[in-house]
Amino acid sequence: DSGVTQTPKHLITATGQRVTLRCSPRSGDLSVYWYQQSLDQGLQFLIQYYNGEERAKGNILERFSAQQFPDLHSELNLSSLELGDSALYFCASSEMEGFLDTQYFGPGTRLTVL
C-alpha cells in the first residue's frame, strides 16, 4: 500500500458526460501528479500540482482539468467524454516539487466510456 488513495475504483459512463476523479496524497506529500494509462498511448503524464498550484503540464486535453485543494487532495475533471478517454487514471504523490523525487502511485481509477 503506497498510502495514496483514489476514488472511485471503477467508473462507467457515457459519451458526452463529465466525471470527477479524486486523489488523496500520502501524508506529508505536497506534490500530486496525474497520469493516464491506455493501451495505445501507454503511461502518459497529464498534470502536476504542488501545494495547491499547477506546476507542470503534460499531454492533457483541454477537456480535462484538475485542481489541488488546501487539504492537498486533488481532483481530475474529465468532460465531454469520448470513447478514447477510456483508460486507467493514476494519481501519484511526492514530497518535493519537481520530478526529481520518487512518485508513489495510487491504485488507479478505471474509466470506461460507453
Partner 1 sequence: AQKVTQAQTEISVVEKEDVTLDCVYETRDTTYYLFWYKQPPSGELVFLIRRNSFDEQNEISGRYSWNFQKSTSSFNFTITASQVVDSAVYFCALSGSKDMRFGAGTRLTVKP
8 binds partner 1 (CB under 8 A): no
Instruction: Retrieve residue 48's grid coordinates.
Output: 502536476
Instruction: Retrieve residue 89's grid coordinates.
Output: 487514471
Q: Which of residues 45-104 bind partner 1 (CB under 8 A)?
A: 45, 56, 58, 88, 90, 92, 98-100, 102-104
33 binds partner 1 (CB under 8 A): yes
In the complex, minimum distance from the CB of residue 72 to partner 1, in angstroms, rounded to a whole number: 20
Size of the site for partner 1 (CB under 8 A): 22
25 binds partner 1 (CB under 8 A): no
Cβ contacts of residue 9 below 8 Å, gap of 6+? 107, 108, 109, 110
Nearer to partner 1 (CB atom), residue 2 or residue 112: 2
Residue 70 sits at φ, ψ, to 5 deg, of -55, -30
Reduced to 3 states, what is the DSSP secondary structure of residue 96?
Answer: coil
24 binds partner 1 (CB under 8 A): no
Chain centre to alpha carbon of residue 19: 12
In the complex, minimum distance from the CB of residue 69 to partner 1, in angstroms, rounded to a whole number: 23
Instruction: Retrieve residue 11's grid coordinates.
Output: 467508473
